[in-house]
Every structure is written in C-alpha cells, then in structure tokens.
C-alpha cells in the first residue's frame, strides 16, 4: 500500500460515508440511529490480506489502522489478527482453508433451528411448503459455495415435513 494513494475499497467507503451521513440527517431521529448503526457496523465488515511474512503483515495492518483513524473509523483490534492460513479464516459465513471451505458452525446451528421450526409449523398447519422453499433454497445457495454436500444430506435427512 503506497502512502500517496489509498486502496479503492477505502476510497469508495469514504465516498459512501460522505454521502450517507448528510443524507441520514433527513430521516426522523429514531430511524437515523438505526441506519447510522447499520452503516457503522457493516460497511467495513471483512477484508483479508495474505503474505508470507508476519512482519510485512504487521506493517500493513498498522498502515490501515492509521489511515482509517484519519477517516475517524476504528478497527476492532481483536478482529484484526494475524495467523497462519492453515488454521482457517472465518470470512463471509465460511471457514476458509487453503484447500477447502466449510460453512461456519453458527450458520449451521441457526439454520438447523430454523428448519426444525419450519417443519413444526408445517406439521401444525401454520405454513405451506411454498413458504418454506425460499428460505431453504437461499440457505442451500449459500452453503453450496463450501464443501457441504454431506452436511446438506445430513440436515435434510434429520427433518421430515408431514402434516399432523
């Protein structure tokens, strides 16, 4: 990262914030907080930098922190960690390893609970299969980007949809 030019993602984020903050002032106070909170918590969510040298990574991290401080943005230091890629990286809903991707465990637990709740609601007559399909297809679309064939087979084998 050169000192003269900022990375495109940071520049674009800055431009978005420059537009969003004055725009937020147009909304009622109760909505303003929610929108501002979402921007603050989700705009600079994830990015990953790879290098073979811990020293280089520490220098890059420090430069990023200093640059973001100029923009009055903060980095959660406990989230800005340096570790071997072989341990896997929690990124965008997956646990990413050099050779494969797995679905994040919390994502699996949440879907399992939601899927069981949907099956129960269907059994009791509260919802139709047409209402269940979009939720299931959305989750399948997400987990298909990981090595999840066995996981999907197991989860869909655990629950049955039958009218009681």
pLDDT at 24: 67
Residue 105 pLDDT: 93
* Orientation of helix 8-24 relative to helix 29-42, angle to 10°: 170
pLDDT tens-digit readout, 107-121: 999 999 999 999 999
For residues 68 and 79, the answer to whether their CB atoms sit within 8 Å is: no
Please tell me the pTM assigned to this model: 0.58
Angle at 117 between CA 116 and CA 123, to 5 degrees: 90
Same structural domain, 109 and 49: no
Does residue 123 lie within any of the structural domains?
A: yes
In a domain, 22, yes or no: yes
Q: Is residue 92 a part of any domain in this protein?
A: no
Q: Let me know whether 54 and 119 are in one domain.
A: no
Residues 59 and 124 in one domain: no
Q: Has residue 89 been placed in a domain?
A: no
17 and 73 in a single domain? The answer is yes
| pLDDT attached to residue 45 | 54
Tell the residue number behind the tokens 């896997």, with chain if given: 88
pLDDT tens digits, 1-39: 444 555 565 666 667 767 776 776 676 665 555 555 555
Domain assignment of residue 116, given as a range = 101-158
């Amino acid at each position: 990262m050169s000192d003269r030019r900022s990375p495109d993602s940071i520049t674009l984020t800055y431009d978005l914030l420059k537009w969003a903050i004055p725009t937020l002032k147009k909304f009622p106070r109760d909505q303003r907080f929610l929108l501002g909170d979402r921007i603050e918590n989700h705009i600079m969510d994830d990015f990953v930098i790879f290098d073979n040298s811990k020293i280089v990574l520490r220098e890059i991290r420090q430069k990023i922190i200093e640059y973001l401080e100029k923009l009055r943005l903060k980095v959660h230091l406990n989230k800005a960690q340096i570790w071997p890629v072989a341990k896997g990286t929690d990124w965008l809903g997956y646990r990413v390893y050099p050779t494969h991707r797995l679905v994040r465990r919390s994502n699996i637990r949440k879907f399992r609970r939601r899927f069981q709740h949907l099956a129960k609601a269907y059994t009791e007559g509260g919802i139709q299969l047409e209402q269940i399909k979009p939720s299931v297809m959305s989750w399948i679309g997400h987990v298909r980007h990981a090595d999840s064939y066995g996981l999907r087979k197991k989860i869909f084998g655990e629950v049955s949809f039958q009218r009681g």
